[in-house]
Amino acid sequence: MAENKQKRAMLNTTINEDVLNNFRDYCKGMNCPMNMVLETFMEQFSKGQFSFKLSKNKMELDIEE
Q: Which pLDDT score is estimated for 14? A: 96
With CA atoms as reference, report the closest residue to 23 among 9, 33, 14. 33
Q: How would residue 64 be classed by pLDDT, with cut points 50, 70 and 90? A: low
Do the Cβ atoms of 52 and 59 come closer than 8 Å?
Answer: yes
Q: Which pLDDT score is estimated for 65? A: 61
Q: Which pLDDT score is estimated for 3? A: 64
Q: How would residue 2 be classed by pLDDT, with cut points 50, 70 and 90? A: low
Question: Would the pTM of this model clear 0.75, i.e. be above it?
Answer: no
Per-residue DSSP letter, 50: E
Give, in order, the Cα–Cα distances in Å from 16 to each of 22, 32, 45. 10, 21, 21
The predicted-structure confidence for 22-55, as pLDDT tens digits, reads as follows 999 999 999 999 999 999 989 988 998 877 777 7
With CA atoms as reference, report the closest residue to 65 among 53, 54, 49. 49
